[in-house]
A and B are shown apart, each in its own frame.
Chain A
Amino acid sequence: MTCDEFLDRYTDYRDGLLSTPREARRFTRHLEQCGSCRAFDEAVQQGVGALRAVERIEPSVDFRRRLDQRLARERRALAAPTLPARAGLAAGLFVAVALALLAREGVRRTEVARVPSLPAVPFPKPVAQAGVPFVSFQDPRASVVVGNPSPYGTALVQPIAAGR
């Protein structure tokens, strides 16, 4: 047995989980022969022994009194379920208010504001620029440009309906 194998399976050995007595004998033999693994095993055993010998700390004097107070509060809360009752009341009120608002909306006749209609305008003249693939629509009411302002750079495109 090598030291690596011993250390890899040390937990099995220490916790008595080796499957056969033959395996246990191999571990014991390795421990007898290898000082390094023996030192490792002794360190674990002595360290854990010292750790177990450390006095356990006890809860403070106040601990149980505080816990009993908290448990008493828990018991009272269990005995008188006030929170669910309040939550139920709040939920009921909420639903009642929501229903009242809905009913009010159904009864009330809402006034719709009248918007004056805009005057009818002819279809805007689209202008396509030859260089850039961009079509703009001139608003005929803003009649700053009449016709085609730059006949060499752009082409005037009119809707099909305009020619009829």
Chain B
Amino acid sequence: MQLSLSQKPQNARALERLTLHELDDAQLVARHLDGDPQAFGALVDRYQTRLLNFINRTIGDRERAEDLVQEVFIRVFRHVHRFDQTKKFSTWIYTIASNLAKNELRNRSRNPLVLFQAIRKHWEGDQRPVQFEDRSARPDDMYRKRYLKELVERCVALLPVHHRAVFVLRELEGKSYAEIADITGCNLGTVKSRLNRARSSFAQMIGPLLE
């Protein structure tokens, strides 16, 4: 099939993008450092959704999570030349994301107005936290199935911050203990004990709702 002149560069770019998406993180970083303008975009494509979900689960504010994901990519862009390429890129980018999320939570705890606005935003009608659910008026199965996903998300949100981060990294992001230790800046023993406590708290909260 003959291609028109305007189609040719577009197709070439699409092909190049497809090729980039087949490369692993380290290769993309190397391409970016070599001056390939598309390589960083491929890294963004790969991590934007994962980081957005990770930060959103950590801070519980979608709009702010988007801002923080942007900040993560800007920091990666600025400092990628200093990144030790013998290490895993995903661990590095998650470490940046985790630190930004922690800073955000720290700043919120210092600013009562922001904290109050965040609480009020999630405090309408059926948006009450799980511990205040009326257990005597048990909803039927359809209702429970529909809201189960919402309930488990709220149970995660109710975990203490340090436990939540470890729990999300292990159960949802599938990170190893060593990676979690690098990302959170803790030793392996701390990761293990936090994970055990997080699972225990999670089971205690969600268990009665699953009966």
Name A residues whose Cβ lies closer than 8 Å to a Cβ of B: 7-8, 10-12, 14-15, 39-40, 42-44, 46-48, 50-54, 56-60, 63-64, 66-67, 70-71, 74
Contact B66 A10 (CB under 8 A): no
Taking CB atoms, residues of chain A closer than 8 Å to B73 are 67, 71
Supply 27 A–B pairs (Cβ within 8 Å), ascending by A.
A10-B199, A39-B207, A40-B203, A42-B210, A43-B206, A43-B210, A44-B199, A46-B210, A47-B155, A47-B203, A48-B171, A50-B149, A50-B152, A51-B152, A51-B156, A56-B53, A57-B49, A57-B62, A59-B49, A59-B66, A63-B69, A64-B48, A67-B70, A67-B73, A70-B70, A70-B74, A74-B74
A-contact 0/1 string along B28-68, CB 8 Å cutoff: 00000000000010001000110011001000001000100
Assess whether B92 is interfacial by the CB under 8 Å rule.
Answer: no
Assess whether B105 is interfacial by the CB under 8 Å rule.
Answer: no
**B74 to chain A: closest residue by CB:** A70
Name B residues whose Cβ lies closer than 8 Å to a Cβ of A: 40, 44, 48-49, 52-53, 56, 62, 66, 69-70, 73-74, 77-78, 148-149, 151-153, 155-156, 170-172, 177, 192, 195-196, 199-200, 202-204, 206-207, 210
Contact B48 A54 (CB under 8 A): no
Residues of B contacting A: mostly: helix
Taking CB atoms, residues of chain A closer than 8 Å to B77 are 71, 74
Contact A11 B49 (CB under 8 A): no
Closest 7 pairs between A and B when the two form their complex, measured CB to CB: A43-B207, A47-B206, A43-B203, A11-B196, A50-B152, A51-B152, A54-B149
Contact A56 B49 (CB under 8 A): yes
Taking CB atoms, residues of chain B closer than 8 Å to A43 are 202-204, 206-207, 210
Q: Within the complex, what minimum Cβ distance (angstroms) separates B127 from chain A? A: 16
Taking CB atoms, residues of chain B closer than 8 Å to A58 are 49, 52
Complex Cα gap A119–B195 (Å): 88
